[in-house]
Amino acid sequence: MRFRVQLALQCLVLLAIGVPCPAQEASKILDQYAKAAGGSKALSRIQTLSLEGTLAAKDDEPGAFTLDMKLPNRYYSEIVAGDKHLIEAYNGKSAWRQDGSGNTSTMLGPEASRMEAAAQIANSRLVNLKKNKLTTSFVGHAEVRGKDALQVEVTSATGAKQEVFFDPQTHLIVKEMVPLGGADEEMFYGEYRAESGIQLPHRIEIRRGDDRFAVEVARATVNGRVGERVFDLPLSSQVKLPNLKALFKEIDANQKALDKIKENYAGTRTEDETEYDGNGKVKKHEMNEYTFFYFDGEEISTLVKKDGRALSEAEQKKEIEQAQKRVEMIQNRQAKKEAKAEKAKEEGKEEKNGDDPDIETFLRTCQFVNPRRERFRGQDVLVFDFEANPEYKPRSLVEKIVQKLAGVVWIDEKAHDVVRLEAYFAGDAKIAGGLLVTIQKGTSFVFEQSFLNNEVWLPTYHEAHGSARFLLVKGYKASEVTHYSDYKRYHVEVQSTVGAPRTP
């Protein structure tokens, strides 16, 4: 009770001098911002926003600036300054950039997450945070251009962060900063004027590394026409897609051969999992280490460390028993599958794949755009975006789930394998009509492989961020990052029990 009284008195003192109370700091700042910018309802009704202007670089070279945004998460920023033509964009599937030399490339890792978050935050207008899977926290007071400002940190569902600074008097945004590990990107805003009832900046300064760009906004348009092509990669950087049906079938056939080669490998996997509550605060954190080998294309894992602690003998024994049961289950499943296939063959029937999402499912439910060729980890790869095919009506649960996905895929055409995949759910995916599980919009994952011993692609990295709702009630939100390492070539003998990996 005494603590609560002290906290209440502290809040009264802080509010009296214009400082937000810790219990309401970020939400109050954002509420004040929304009201000053035109009202939360007006901000929520913005479908598109375009800013166009002129700029001068540090050497006073004339240039042009364009910023286009479109719901739900499209973003395009273009700077033309002398011989520099810089573009950063997110098209709802992949993040990409064009550098000063005119080279176009797909962003990866933290850069891609940063660009995706920038698109999401900008289009959210900092309202309806829960719906937009954003969390905020008040950092404190900061100085912006010699004046006091209130700093709020905004975090996306993938964990990417952006710092936003507000003027305590006008309550409008005066600065945004994206932490880039020593070379932060900063944008300063000033000279706000109303456009269609929305307060928008007409003077912007952009700082990227050694570059400085001063922008004078000449035209600001709210809810104007902005086509999807604006956010796609330049046609000059695109190539003609090969026959995807043939390519995917080659990948599928190659995967069956790789599954046998993978059985000669064992490795280590570390999983770093964080579970969050409804407000985005850490609820649970675990870091586990496993050893694993492959059997019939699947990982057979054994937990060896939990939060840095080695398992006891009893725990190790239990893990080995579970791995043995897993192998036996796969063996039994495979035997049943072979028997079913043999019976179908005898009866002259075609075996069905059940509910597994095969290549044909993706070809039916998705469309593939923005094909380009790039270098990835020293390999030449084909890269293209994929999204739902709006003209196809899904006929099964698997098709409905796959059609909710959007993202980008990297393929080694020579090796016939996927080397990287980034995808997210563009809409809620419901199982049993949402009664059982609802995978919520924005849930995303990244998968990456490396080519080892000049013979096989093996997983090196996996990342997942998302939320789900179980039985209409229980919500679950978590992030998981998995690293694969210490691959060694082994031969695993599996009969009725799991044999220890041995060197050939």
pLDDT per residue as tens digits for the range 40-54: 999 999 999 999 999
Does 208 share its domain with 272? no
What is the domain range of residue 468?
238-342+354-489
Does 244 share its domain with 231? no
Predicted pLDDT at 78: 93
Q: Could you say which of 191, 211, 235 is where a domain stops?
A: 235
Per-residue pLDDT tens, the chain, 504 aa: give them: 343 434 344 444 444 444 545 435 889 999 999 999 999 999 999 999 999 999 865 555 678 999 999 999 999 999 988 778 889 999 999 999 998 778 899 998 888 888 999 999 999 999 988 888 888 999 999 999 999 999 999 988 778 889 999 999 999 999 999 876 556 789 999 999 999 999 999 999 998 877 888 999 999 999 999 999 999 998 888 898 888 888 888 888 887 788 888 888 999 999 999 887 766 678 889 999 999 998 887 889 999 999 989 989 898 899 899 989 988 898 888 888 778 877 777 766 655 554 555 667 877 888 999 999 998 877 888 999 999 888 888 888 888 888 888 999 999 888 888 888 898 888 887 776 655 677 888 888 888 988 888 888 889 999 888 877 665 555 667 888 999 999 988 765 544 444 445 444
Q: What is the CATH number for 35?
A: 2.50.20
Does 170 share its domain with 274? no
Predicted pLDDT at 358: 62
Predicted pLDDT at 16: 44
Q: Name 153's bridge partners.
A: 137, 163
- H helix runs in 244-291, sequence order: 244-262
Residue 200's contacts (CB-CB under 8 Å, 6 or more residues apart) are 49, 51, 192, 193, 194, 217, 220, 222
Specify the amino acid at residue 98: Q
Neighbours of 329 (CB within 10 A): 11
Does 494 reside within a domain?
A: no
The DSSP string of 80-97 is: EETTEEEEEEE-SS-EEE
Pull the structure tokens for residue 197.
């009832």
Residue 140's contacts (CB-CB under 8 Å, 6 or more residues apart) are 150, 151
Does 278 reside within a domain?
A: yes
283: nearest Cα among 477, 136, 107? 477
Does 202 reside within a domain?
A: yes
Does 118 reside within a domain?
A: yes
Does 271 share its domain with 132? no
Whole-number Å distance between alpha carbons of 328 and 307: 29
Pull the structure tokens for residue 167.
């003027």
Does 174 share its domain with 293? no
Does 78 share its domain with 164? yes
Does 498 reside within a domain?
A: no
Whole-number Å distance between alpha carbons of 484 and 82: 45
Does 225 share its domain with 274? no
Predicted pLDDT at 470: 61
481: nearest Cα among 258, 324, 270? 270
For residue 442, the Cα-to-chain-centroid distance in whole angstroms is 8
Q: Could you say which of 205, 235, 265 is where a domain stops?
A: 235
Does 128 share its domain with 182? yes
Predicted pLDDT at 11: 44
Does 245 reside within a domain?
A: yes
pTM for the whole structure: 0.79
Predicted pLDDT at 253: 82
Q: Could you say which of 170, 204, 235 is where a domain stops?
A: 235
**pLDDT tens digits for range 210-258:** 788 899 999 999 999 999 999 999 888 889 888 888 888 888 888 778 8
56: nearest Cα among 87, 86, 80, 85? 80
Q: How many domains does the chain have?
A: 2
Does 399 reside within a domain?
A: yes
Does 136 share its domain with 85? yes
Whole-number Å distance between alpha carbons of 348 and 354: 18
3-state secondary structure 121-162: HHHHCCCCCCCCCCEEEEEEEEEECCEEEEEEEEECCCCCEE
Does 287 share its domain with 436? yes
Does 177 share its domain with 269? no
Does 20 share its domain with 33? yes
Does 406 reside within a domain?
A: yes
E strands present in 196-281: 198-208, 211-222, 265-276
